[in-house]
Amino acid sequence: MLVLNGSEDLIEALEEVLDEAGFQTKGVRVQDVLRGPLDFATLVRETTPAVIVYDISVPFDLSWYAFQKLAATPAAAGIPFVLTTTNREGAQEYTGPDVIELLLKPYDIDQFTRAVSLAAKRGAVEADAR
């Protein structure tokens, strides 16, 4: 799993939750991917995530645009995304063919791990079909 979030505290918490659920998880600050020093394509190739968890944060429009840009990269092709956000009003537009789940915050841990597990299973089925 790859967790992209702006909060280091939340990255650590989500890494711990996902690790306890049996996933190998790498969390990075989304700012480090969008503005450097990390290259998204290299990060995806090195971590080979089954799922990418991405937080649509404030400012929502810029965060949504950044997500669309990352999701469109060839390195992310076929990798399902689980999106998280506090933006209830904008949540409807945060869906699409590559988004398996959108979780509105606050969400509970069981809901989160179920969404990631489901996304991983769907991604594996789609990969086998290719």
Q: Is 13 exposed, middle or buried (0-12, 13-18, 19+ CB in 10 A)?
A: middle
Domains of the chain by residue range: 2-107
Taking the C-alpha atoms of residue 93 and residue 101, their distance in angstroms, rounded to an integer, is 13
Look at the domain 2-107 and name its fold.
Rossmann fold (3.40.50)
What is the chain's pLDDT, residue by residue, as a tens digit (130 residues)? 999 999 899 899 899 999 999 999 999 999 999 998 999 999 999 999 999 999 888 888 888 889 989 999 999 998 998 888 877 676 666 665 555 566 666 777 888 898 899 888 887 766 666 5
Structure tokens at 109: 């841990």
